[in-house]
Structure 1
């Protein structure tokens, strides 16, 4: 038995998402605020701690819908009409768990089979947080609102002129008052009273009365009025998600809620939270030992483990008797010592005639429990290796003196061991008296949030590779299928993501808000096994490329694909130093160096991630017959060799068409929020050595950079490509001859060219004074790259503001 997938609905940013769980290990990845934590919290609240729900766990647009439903109640109540019902199915947070159950495991699920003929396969249960008694909740809410209305009426009567002159004997209630009842809405939840307003004048002061609306009512009453109910789902009505958004099946109105949660005995859930209480604590005890925070230090875990599995006082076994005898001897010896030490003090008390003759006599008694020896900050120590010293003279430091990374690693691993042993009822835990129907849950679900905290990159990878093995290291587990373990990890670490098979990654994607009024940004979940699991050449290339480059696409706000090493070196520097790209510097951009002949292979992945993507690539002109690379020129029927331009954006091969392409031709978007723009060399009008302006057609980044900065390069000192460009400019009679010359030496030395530019200097005149300046700071960014960076900046800013696709900026 294992969880095939879960569907989370109406919970925070997760309006309707499906998350497929791998058989062993599933890793949640995605940028900040994409819904990973919401998914982990949903699992914990539905499966472990239902009392921790609050109104903040409801998807925000549903707050308004709840208020609208409640206003409809009030209006019907005031109009003496039947009260409309709330469609709780569409508003309440829910978790659908779909288990795959083998035919041999029917004994576990016999009480909630979907049909009598069911013999194995998918079995679905919905856990929904909803009113315990919907009608009682409505009556109580309307009663609260009636009290508000009566209070308002009384306040109006009390504030009326007749009341001020003593004309009213008593303030009437709502049903007795002749004051016209106000309409339902916020206005009936406010008492308008008089308040000092300077001198003897009085103004109006609005005093809000609780509850103004049902959402405010629920903030106080939710925990008492709501609970989790379980419903059986129909496997035949299960539908696949569309573009990352699930379509949970509606409940059959004729199938009531189950009497109890059927999953509680089937799934054991354990969690390692993101906040683990490591480091130094704030206070000290009288003996200067540091107090322990409520975290996950090893010393705290050891005490819990000892109490659960090892305490000899808990159901003693024959092997415990020797330890118990030793403890009793120690206790008696300690009591004897106490009696000797306090003999004088007790005699002095007796000399005061207290206690009296008939009063009880004072006697000291002690209790020695082994667990008390672990109840201090130095219960766990680390031995520090010392050169030339024997074991007896080695130095020991308390647990909190060790590095946070090591503490975190040891704490998490021991936590996993403890989870496993409690599940398997190891030691004393196995002797506890259980119900006759008790059995070890066949499924163990372990949640780990952000294990990378304080850990070195290599240790992060070690942890994620070994965590599942630790959870299975037991005689009854191993490779057996009778008891299954599923590990779910959420992370912001690319090191952890790259240590996993990409098929087990689940990408949480931020979705822009809908154009509808009141809409808020939501999230969807993409199963990357559908991207990486095909096994074709494209999938193999993407996996190997991502592994080799260790790229961080899964955590980025946007991506920039560049053609070669020169762009990879210089373009990030342009972004960091130019004011025009200030917003890009505040975003997390993933830079990937991948040529135009391969960039299009990343298209399925980038489309799945829906990342705003800028592709900085080259024209790569070629002769239509010989297929030989040539300098670009118009009207010669030239083509582009660039597969990205031919097959992705703008899906054009003709060079003249590419040179004349409009802005919209270079951008592709879809309804999911995915947007990609291609940037390649565009015609520029420049002056060569003071000649008239003429059109320059660049073929690569390097010659485009030179055309934009001819004045700098024609006198720039240097070797390699810098020298070749300088000499070519000096020898060129016009731009076409310069282009032909450049075409002959651009195949080598590009990375060296970019590195030389990072530290090259040149002479320039500022206000009539010659000065030395850094070349890299004065270079004009090629126009095609500049325009592309501005597009990406605008796209990311739009997303940051959560403006819907197609909305006015």
Structure 2
């Protein structure tokens, strides 16, 4: 048994999204504000029982708010006109989570309460958990009453103004509630609750263009009780882990914190673990007898000492006439509980060995003295062990369980941003070992009777690179359509390559070796070689016209034109805006590398230009390609790709105006900056180019001289030398790079506009203070 996928609808940015879960671990990746946190929060709110009261109205997808207000306006119009009220039509707006599981026929005893039909014989099962009105008619009635009260108050204000002979506008204020949305921002927890429904596996269909197609309920009746009780155990480690000094913890140190507690103190977790699994007072066995005997003897000895210590104060009380003959006498005794030995800041200490006078001694520091990284790592690992042992009922947890309670066959563990405070190597170790820790039990391991599925959200490229592509789920931001807001869809990265295992292997290794942050970027720039890798970002940082790029999250991937096309399937799958900066790589009819010449039947050797875009091999056609046609729009995927390669430019050299055809980045830079290089001091290629400019009679001679110079020169050294130019803005980028970067800047500006069309209106301060509003964060 395992969760195959979940579908989240109408929850924050996730208007209709399917998220497939891997058999062991699933990692959510994506750029900022792409919906990763929304997905983890949805799983928590819908599945963790104690979190179900955490909903607030801001969890409803923003694009539905006008429709909800329209429904409220229709109610009010009918009510004012004394007509029959329209039926409350909430179904299209309600947040819900569909959980789809694969269950074997021999596991039917776990799922009897959610079987769709009596003849079900194994396979897919689905349950919908929906946040919906408790009583739709009562909600409608109370809203109309609130609106009537608001209108009456406005009328009274106008009458008062007329009575005082003042302008009625001075008495007109926005009385709550103006709309149904405004009403629910204060009252949603009063009128809404969680209900669950059985789904029909035969009506489950695949997503269309990345958008889930959840089935309608068609009048289904909700299930009584919790369908996941005894079926799924859910634990979580949230991003808010409360790290810092001991005084910052909001957890009462005298109370047991649950599995979802935000307490980061290891002593608190140890105390809870002790109570659950080790306490000798709970169903003692033979191994506990020695401990209980020692506690009893210590308690008796302490009682004797207490009696001696309080003898004088008690005698002094006798002078007050208490206790008298008939009064009960005072007796002071102690009760030792071993768990209290962990109820202090020094319960957990770190040992620091040191040498003093030739002797080895140990110094002890409290846990707060350890680095935040190790505190976080130790805390998370221990919580994973505690989750596992509570699930498997290790130690005293077995005796606490009721006789008829069964161990749920499925354990779902949610971990939010484990990389907090961890340096990169520890991040990688954690993601490699976390699932193994959750399975480190005699009944688990590689067995299939009990299944552990771990879901992790992260912003760390190091964690992403440590995971197999099949476990990555890329959250992609979708631009807003007209009169709507931006939403997100989820891409299974493992499906990007189809059956092309060789390409998948290359991309996996390449991304891991280069440590790129492709899965977290706003855009990608694929560049040809080390010189481009150095200089293209330098151009961006040195010229004000590229400021938009400097403000954006861009990943720079150094990959040659002969390999860039191998990233095609991945980039098209995740829909990432991409600029490919490459060389034209011209060759003559015999297939030998040659400087570009028009009308010579030359072609390009560049696989990206031949097979990806613009899918042209003839050199003349590439040179004549208009700039507007160098980009490719992916309408269905809603993103754009552009290629930038050396293009003809018109220059004046030695008194003659000519068309310059560059062959590499280096000669393109020189051609665009001839006046600068004519006097630029330096050695290596800079000196050779300076000499070539001085000695060449025309551009043809200069082109030949530059080609000869590049044969024996170091391109990377040349790029580094250019970084030392006193005024970086004096070095102009080649035309093809400049136009490509300006295109990318325009794309990102348009994208940011589309992703930010609607701002969330702040809830009134009065509403925040209202007890009915509940807690929540804007989507």
Secondary structure of residue in 1 paired with 2:656: coil
The alignment covers a number of residue pairs equal to 746
Give the Å deviation of 1:404: 0.6
2:63 to 61, 64, 79: 61
Structure 2-normalised TM-score? 0.91
* Whole-angstrom distance in 2 between the partners of 1:14 and 1:803: 14
Residue 437 (structure 2) aligns with: 470
Q: Does structure 1 conserve the Cα–Cα contact (< 8 Å) formed by 2:461 and 2:520?
A: yes
Residue 488 (structure 2) aligns with: 523
Instruction: Pick closer, same or farther for the CA change 1:648–1:400 going to 2, 3 Å.
Output: same
Higher RCO structure (Cα 8 Å, ≥6 apart): 2
Q: Does structure 1 conserve the Cα–Cα contact (< 8 Å) formed by 2:528 and 2:560?
A: yes
- Counting only pairs closer than 5 Å after superposition, residues 652-801 of structure 1 correspond to structure 2 as 652-671=616-635, 672-688=637-653, 690-747=654-711, 749-758=713-722, 760=724, 773=726, 776-801=728-753
Secondary structure of residue in 1 paired with 2:355: coil
* Whole-angstrom distance in 2 between the partners of 1:701 and 1:34: 35
Give the Å deviation of 1:102: 0.7
Instruction: Pick closer, same or farther for the CA change 1:284–1:505 going to 2, 3 Å.
Output: closer
Deviation string 1:622-673 (CA, Å, 9 cap, x unpaired) is 22x2122221122223222222122222222222222222222111122333
Residue 273 (structure 1) aligns with: 238
* Whole-angstrom distance in 2 between the partners of 1:681 and 1:547: 30
Residue 18 (structure 1) aligns with: 18
* Whole-angstrom distance in 2 between the partners of 1:471 and 1:36: 23
Residue 409 (structure 1) aligns with: 377
Q: Does structure 2 conserve the Cα–Cα contact (< 8 Å) formed by 1:722 and 1:753?
A: no
Residue 208 (structure 2) aligns with: 242
Deviation string 1:396-443 (CA, Å, 9 cap, x unpaired) is 10000001111111111000000000001111110025162x211010
Instruction: Pick closer, same or farther for the CA change 1:751–1:407 going to 2, 3 Å.
Output: farther
Residue 176 (structure 1) aligns with: none
* Whole-angstrom distance in 2 between the partners of 1:409 and 1:640: 52
Moved more, 658-667 or 97-106: 658-667
* Whole-angstrom distance in 1 between the partners of 2:262 and 2:413: 20
Instruction: Pick closer, same or farther for the CA change 1:578–1:505 going to 2, 3 Å.
Output: same
Residue 180 (structure 1) aligns with: none
Residue 307 (structure 1) aligns with: 275
Instruction: Pick closer, same or farther for the CA change 1:747–1:123 going to 2, 3 Å.
Output: farther
- Counting only pairs closer than 5 Å after superposition, residues 62-81 of structure 1 correspond to structure 2 as 62-81=64-83
| 1:493 aligns to 2:485 (yes or no) | no
| 1:322 aligns to 2:287 (yes or no) | no
Q: Does structure 2 conserve the Cα–Cα contact (< 8 Å) formed by 1:503 and 1:532?
A: no
Secondary structure of residue in 2 paired with 1:90: coil
Q: Does structure 1 conserve the Cα–Cα contact (< 8 Å) formed by 2:485 and 2:756?
A: no
- Larger Rg computed on CA atoms: 1
Residue 223 (structure 1) aligns with: 189
| 1:103 aligns to 2:105 (yes or no) | yes
* Whole-angstrom distance in 2 between the partners of 1:746 and 1:304: 69
* Whole-angstrom distance in 1 between the partners of 2:75 and 2:168: 37
Q: Does structure 1 conserve the Cα–Cα contact (< 8 Å) formed by 2:474 and 2:490?
A: yes
Give the Å deviation of 1:556: 0.8
Secondary structure of residue in 1 paired with 2:131: strand
Q: Does structure 1 conserve the Cα–Cα contact (< 8 Å) formed by 2:34 and 2:476?
A: yes
Give the Å deviation of 1:108: 0.9
Deviation string 1:63-113 (CA, Å, 9 cap, x unpaired) is 221111111111112223222223322100000000000111111112321
* Whole-angstrom distance in 1 between the partners of 2:344 and 2:669: 66
Moved more, 568-577 or 538-547: 538-547
Q: Does structure 1 conserve the Cα–Cα contact (< 8 Å) formed by 2:424 and 2:462?
A: yes
Give the Å deviation of 1:284: 11
Deviation string 1:44-65 (CA, Å, 9 cap, x unpaired) is 0000121111101110111221
* Whole-angstrom distance in 1 between the partners of 2:431 and 2:358: 36
Residue 120 (structure 2) aligns with: 118
Give the Å deviation of 1:119: 0.7
Residue 172 (structure 1) aligns with: none
* Whole-angstrom distance in 2 between the partners of 1:450 and 1:573: 32
Instruction: Pick closer, same or farther for the CA change 1:329–1:17 going to 2, 3 Å.
Output: same
Secondary structure of residue in 1 paired with 2:128: strand
* Whole-angstrom distance in 2 between the partners of 1:205 and 1:322: 79
Q: Does structure 1 conserve the Cα–Cα contact (< 8 Å) formed by 2:157 and 2:171?
A: no
Instruction: Pick closer, same or farther for the CA change 1:758–1:401 going to 2, 3 Å.
Output: farther
* Whole-angstrom distance in 1 between the partners of 2:425 and 2:262: 28
Structure 1: which 5+ runs fail to align?
A: 165-192, 195-200, 762-772
| 1:649 aligns to 2:613 (yes or no) | yes
Give the Å deviation of 1:745: 4.5
Moved more, 722-731 or 791-800: 722-731
* Whole-angstrom distance in 2 between the partners of 1:153 and 1:339: 77
TM-align CA RMSD: 2.5
* Whole-angstrom distance in 2 between the partners of 1:741 and 1:798: 43
* Whole-angstrom distance in 2 between the partners of 1:664 and 1:423: 60
Q: Does structure 1 conserve the Cα–Cα contact (< 8 Å) formed by 2:480 and 2:487?
A: yes
